[in-house]
Every structure is written in structure tokens, then in C-alpha cells.
Amino acid sequence: MKQVYKIGTSDGLNPSEAVLLIEVSDVHCCYAIVNYSDFTMVQFGYYTSEPEDSNDVLRNVVEHHSELQQTFRQTAVSYYTNENVMIPSKFFRYEETQRILQAMYDKGPNIVVTESVPEWQLYNVYHVPAATHGLLSRRFATGNFWHAYSIILKNGVASDEGGSLIVDFKKDNFTTIATRNNTLLLAQIFPYAASADVLYWLVKICTEYSLLQTQVKLTLSGLIDKGSAIFRALHQYFINIDFAATENEVRLSHAFEEYPAHFFSSLYKLAICVS
């Protein structure tokens, strides 16, 4: 595996008074340890898989960090996977949605997970790799588990008449949640290798859903800053751009001072779900 970031330390923090946050996909794993008493993030790690890795990236990260093998006061996990279906609650039928998901995606060695997103009157049905599910179930049997899309929607999305694009960047892909007037239009993960790829997908979303680039609100988080080529490209095509703000309940320790707070947005949104 490849280390992208390792910030801070949890030395001296009793794990029984800490919260462990994990976000995992088939190509990356990031985690944070949060002091429960004041909800301060004290440690963060971000890793990506390498072609020569014999095991999945989650297993490698857990085995590499002994502090993750302790018993925490709370554990919360975010599944970062694109194999999902959003079903309006009034049309939800468990057996039918399983068949829909399996018809859309190759089932393979996957577990089907269903979760309610009552804030949007939706059910999120998605695949989790069986190996990932098994490891998490053994290590963190009492943990809380959600899909990355569900976490964003649970944290509240501004109702903008001109529409809203919430975009969270990882190293090689980004999540986009598109909404307008309290209606979910799209939730999807897109790959990218250059700023032109990001621009292409976001402009295409606006075109497909009749969102005007002069009106839609673009909220950015994750691994992006104002000096990046991606931000400069977006600024040429979108008027209303903001970076995600840190939630009031979550703080960052002094070890994080040189990093923008929105780098850790997906994990502090996960933290709010268990606070």
C-alpha cells in the first residue's frame, strides 16, 4: 500500500474515550481517531492500494497500525462504493431491490446492504466486497456502517433553487451529489486523471439536469485546494464555488494546522453521524 497522508498521533489517548472513523473502497482507505470528550480529530491516515498488494488495502492499514486494533468507544465506517441503487421509500421492496442491484452489477463476491435515508425518503441499496465486510464485522462487531452517499445526505444538503453540486475529492476519483429543491438528482463516483476530466463530468451533469453553471452552487471538499489546477479550471466555468466548512461539533488538533479543514470533510461528516 502507499501512504498519502499520516497526520498527528493518538498516543496518550485512551481508546475507550475515542472514536474510530474509517472510510474504505477497493482502492483506498482513510481513517481518523477522534477524542470523544471534545470531538477533536487527533490522528488521520490516508492510504491507496498498490498493484503488488496481495491483500486488500483495508487489511493492510489495520495490520500496519496497531492503534486501530484497540477497542474504541465507538467505531463508524463509510463504504465508498459506486455499485448502488437509490430507491424512493414508497417503492422500496427488499426482494425486488436486491434483484435490481444484481441485474445492474455483477454480484461477484459481494454482500448486499440496504439502509434507509429517511431525511430524503430513500433507501440506499449497495454492494460491499465480502472480504471487506468480513474483516470489518470481525474487528468492529459493534460499529456503525453507512454508505458514503448516505452520510453526505444525512448531514444536510442546502436547498438551492439553482441546484447544488457537493463534490468530494480523493486521490484518483471524486464523489458528486447533485440536488435541486430538495430532490436528489445524482449520486455517483467518477474517476479522474487530470483537471479536464473533472470539468467534463461536472459540466455534463449540469447539462443533463438543466443546471445553469452561473447559478448552481458548487461545494468542494477532500483533496483539493485553491492552488490546484482543478480549482483553477472549475473557477473558469462556475461562479458560485465554496469549500466545505468544518462542522461545529468537530475540531482539528494542532497537528492539522497546515492543512485546510475541508481535506477531512468526509470523515468529520461521518463523525457527526455518531456524535
> 231 lies in which domain range?
156-243
The per-residue pLDDT for range 256-272, each reduced to its tens digit, is: 999 999 999 999 889 88
Pick from 196, 160, 195: nearest CA to 177? 160
Kindly indicate the confidence band of residue 104, based on its pLDDT and cuts at 50, 70 and 90: confident
| pLDDT score of 94 | 85
The pLDDT mean for the chain works out to: 90
Determine the Cα–Cα distance for residues 41 and 25; give it in Å rounded to an integer. 22
Kindly indicate the confidence band of residue 218, based on its pLDDT and cuts at 50, 70 and 90: very high
Q: What are the helix and strand counts (H, E) for the chain?
A: 7, 15
* Domain presence at residue 223: yes
The per-residue pLDDT for range 66-98, each reduced to its tens digit, is: 899 899 999 999 999 999 999 999 999 888 887
Kindly indicate the confidence band of residue 209, based on its pLDDT and cuts at 50, 70 and 90: very high
**pLDDT over 60 at 54, yes or no:** no
| pLDDT score of 247 | 62
| pLDDT score of 55 | 61
Q: State in Å, rounded, how far the first CA of the chain is from the last one.
A: 31
Kindly indicate the confidence band of residue 274, based on its pLDDT and cuts at 50, 70 and 90: confident
| pLDDT score of 105 | 85
| pLDDT score of 45 | 95
* Domain presence at residue 175: yes
Determine the Cα–Cα distance for residues 113 and 21; give it in Å rounded to an integer. 19
Kindly indicate the confidence band of residue 56, based on its pLDDT and cuts at 50, 70 and 90: confident
3-state secondary structure labels for all residues of 40-101: EEEEEEEEECCCCCCCCHHHHHHHHCHHHHCCCCEEEEEECCCCEEEEEHHHCCHHHHHHHH
* Domain presence at residue 140: no
| pLDDT score of 64 | 87
* Domain presence at residue 220: yes
* Portion of the chain with pLDDT greater than 70, in percent: 96
| pLDDT score of 52 | 64
**pLDDT over 80 at 162, yes or no:** yes
Give the mean model confidence (pLDDT) for residues 178-196.
94
**pLDDT over 90 at 187, yes or no:** yes
* Domain presence at residue 43: no
* Domain presence at residue 91: no
Surface-to-core class of residue 233, CB atoms within 10 Å of its CB (0-12 exposed, 13-18 middle, 19+ buried): middle
Query: Domain of 193: which CATH number?
Result: 3.30.420.260
Angle between helices 57-64 and 130-139 (to 10 degrees): 30
Domain count, the chain: 1
* Domain presence at residue 28: no
Determine the Cα–Cα distance for residues 79 and 146; give it in Å rounded to an integer. 6
- DSSP structural state of residue 262: G
Pick from 117, 140, 135, 115: nearest CA to 125? 115
pTM of the predicted structure, to 2 decimals? 0.92
Q: Which amino acid is at 64?
A: H
* Domain presence at residue 114: no
**pLDDT over 70 at 248, yes or no:** no
| pLDDT score of 100 | 85
Map residue 1 onto helix, strand or coil. Answer: coil
The CA radius of gyration of the chain, in Å to the nearest whole number, is 18
